[in-house]
């Protein structure tokens, strides 16, 4: 099989006090023609990883092979065949779009016609506009244009849609899809679950410098054991229900009997969260941010039973939602914390 990227036991430690271990033993294989997404919160080591793969950073240890070659010898041969869009490159504001794309085109031995690339990215109306006058979405498309103008076989995109509005994001997805449809390979990083689900053939979930899961979005979601979530809140608070389950142990079920210290006047739930576990089609139960969350296979089976139970116990239902499982849930299940919690850290 033709591999676009292989890396084994990749580590990167930044020398500081204390040393920062950005990447801690990461294995990665990207096949030719696929779109692979590195998904994880900020600070997970995604950018460090992609910059090592792009040959911009030297790894502390580990093996990296890009398009069958290792960095360090004949780097030019690799660079001729890859296209890169870094996070937050600010191209010269005084140059026009066309001038910028032509400049990047000149660095490559072979490549595409700059005007064709500009048209492919729907920037032709702005081709003579200065970069400083462009919107965020247009600037990002220009960055991708500069990455594509060398006609690469392998495209690296580091958080290509961060900070973009939904419309610009969808436009960029279309461009990436059309690039992939020519049989080319894409490696992108993102912290948007939706982006990974919509765009990637395979996703590697990265947390704290390690890959904690890998597979197609569908496979990853299947690993949850169920496709749907039913979430609800009850009037007589279940706050004290499952202190031990607050970390959201999806797939683990509930270990042991939760401490039930709440004793409301009406009908106290006798056995805590565990009682929902016995409803049909429910795989697991958890307290997530004050809501009771049921991981279920078939919502239409569990819902009537749940309504019946709540009515019988005369708990007041204050909210109820059902939704498809997302990669977000996969991340929570695997990492034990939410993506945005790490954003703040």
Partner 1 sequence: MTSNRSARYSPLVQLILARCREFYREPEAVFWSYGFPLLMATALGFAFRNKPAEQFAVDLLDATATDPIVARLIEDKRFKVQLSDETESRRRLRTGVTDLVVSLRRDNDSLRFDYLFDPTRPASLVARNAADDALQRAAGRQDVAGASDQHYEEPGGRYIDFLVPGLIGMSLMGGGLWGVGFVTVDMRIRKVLKRFLATPMKKHQFLAGLMASRLLFLIPEVVTLLLFTRFVFGVRNHGSLFAVIVLILIGASAFAGLGLLVASRAKTIEAVSGLMNLVMLPMWIASGIFFESSRFPDEVQPVIKALPLTQLINALRAVMLEGHAITSQWPNIVGLVLWGVVSSVIALRWFRWS
Residue in 267, 286, 265 with CA at minimum distance from that of residue 276:
286
Nearest approach, Cβ of 42 to partner 1 (angstroms)? 17
CB 55, min distance to partner 1, A: 7
Environment class of 26 (CB within 10 Å of its CB; exposed 0-12, middle 13-18, buried 19+) = buried
Q: Tell me the window of 11-19, 104-112, 199-207, 244-252 that interacts with partner 1 (CB under 8 A).
A: 104-112
Q: What's the closest the beta carbon of residue 290 comes to partner 1, in angstroms?
A: 42
Among 47, 48, 49, 80, binds partner 1 (CB under 8 A): 80
Establish whether the linkage from the previous residue to 257 is cis, with ω within 30° of 0. no
Per CB under 8 A, does 16 bind partner 1? no
289 binding partner 1? (CB under 8 A): no
- Closest to partner 1 by CB, 113 or 257: 113
Residue whose CB is less far from partner 1, 102 or 320: 102
| Window of 65-73, 79-87, 224-232, 276-284 that interacts with partner 1 by CB under 8 A | 79-87
How far apart, in Å, are the Cα atoms of 36 and each of 45, 57, 177, 202, 333? 16, 20, 12, 5, 21
User: How big is the site for partner 1, counted in residues (CB under 8 A)?
Assistant: 32
Q: How far apart are CA 151 and CA 166, in angstroms?
A: 27
Helix axes 136-148, 97-106, angle to 10 degrees: 20
Tell me the DSSP string of 265-299: SS---TTTTHHHHTSTTEEEEEEETTEEEEEES-H
Per CB under 8 A, the list member of 71, 104, 232, 241 interacting with partner 1 is: 104
Q: Are 50 and 122 in contact (CB under 8 A)?
A: no
CB of 136 to partner 1, least distance (A): 16
Beta strands in 15-109 (DSSP E): 20-31, 35-39, 61-66, 82-85
Site string for partner 1, 35-74 (x = CB under 8 A): -------------------xxx------------------
Rounded Cα distance between 289 and 287, Å, is 7
Report how far residue 45's alpha carbon sits from residue 59's, in angstroms, rounded to the nearest whole number. Answer: 12
Q: Whole-number minimum distance, CB 52 to partner 1, in Å? A: 12
CB of 157 vs partner 1, minimal distance in Å: 12
What is the DSSP pairing of strand 35-39 with strand 202-207?
A: parallel
Choose between 92 and 321: whose C-beta lies nearer to partner 1.
92
Q: Is 17 in the site for partner 1 (CB under 8 A)?
A: no
**Backbone conformation region of residue 264, classed left if phi is above 0, alpha if psi is from -120 to 50, else beta:** beta
Nearer to partner 1, 8 or 92 (CB): 92
What are the Cα distances from residue 11, in Å, to 14, 16, 187?
A: 10, 15, 19
Select the residue interacting with partner 1 from 14, 61, 63, 88 (CB under 8 A).
88
Our finding on whether 76 is near partner 1 (CB under 8 A) is yes
Contact at 8 Å (CB) between 106 and 132? no
90 binds partner 1 (CB under 8 A): yes
**Subset of residues 107 to 166 that bind partner 1, contact rule: CB under 8 A:** 107-113, 130, 146, 150
Q: Measured from the CB of residue 134, what is the shortest distance to partner 1 in angstroms?
A: 15
Residues engaged in binding partner 1 (CB under 8 A): 54-56, 76, 79-80, 82, 84, 86, 88-92, 94-95, 99, 102-113, 130, 146, 150
């Amino acid at each position: 099989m033709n591999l676009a990227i292989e890396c084994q036991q990749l580590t990167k430690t930044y020398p500081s006090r204390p040393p920062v271990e950005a990447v801690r033993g990461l294995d990665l294989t990207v096949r030719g023609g696929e779109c692979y997404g590195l998904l994880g919160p900020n600070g997970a080591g995604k950018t460090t990883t992609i910059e090592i793969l792009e040959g911009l950073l030297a790894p502390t240890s580990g093996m990296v092979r890009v398009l069958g070659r290792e960095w360090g010898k004949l780097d030019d041969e690799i660079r001729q065949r890859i296209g890169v869009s870094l996070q937050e490159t600010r191209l010269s504001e005084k140059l026009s779009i066309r001038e910028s794309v032509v400049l990047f085109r000149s660095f490559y031995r072979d490549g595409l016609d700059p005007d064709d690339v500009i048209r492919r990215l729907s920037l032709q109306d702005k081709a003579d506009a200065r970069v400083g006058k462009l919107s965020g979405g247009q600037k990002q498309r220009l960055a991708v244009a500069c990455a594509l103008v060398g006609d690469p076989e392998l495209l690296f995109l580091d958080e290509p849609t961060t900070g973009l509005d939904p419309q610009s994001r969808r436009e960029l997805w279309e461009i990436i899809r059309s690039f992939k449809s020519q049989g080319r390979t894409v490696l992108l990083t993102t912290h948007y679950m939706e982006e990974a689900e919509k765009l990637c053939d395979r996703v590697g979930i990265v947390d704290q410098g390690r890959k904690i899961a890998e597979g197609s979005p569908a496979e990853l979601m299947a690993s949850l054991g169920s496709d749907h979530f039913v979430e609800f809140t009850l009037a007589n608070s279940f706050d004290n229900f499952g202190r031990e389950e607050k970390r959201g142990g999806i797939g683990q079920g509930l270990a042991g009997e939760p401490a039930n210290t709440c004793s409301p006047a009406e009908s106290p739930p006798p056995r805590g969260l565990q009682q929902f576990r016995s409803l049909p089609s429910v795989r697991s139960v958890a307290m997530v941010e004050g809501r009771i969350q049921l991981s279920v296979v078939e919502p239409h089976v569990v819902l009537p039973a749940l309504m019946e139970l709540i009515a019988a116990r005369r708990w007041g239902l204050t909210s109820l939602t059902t939704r498809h499982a997302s990669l977000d849930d996969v991340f929570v299940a695997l990492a034990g914390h939410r993506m945005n919690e790490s954003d703040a850290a």
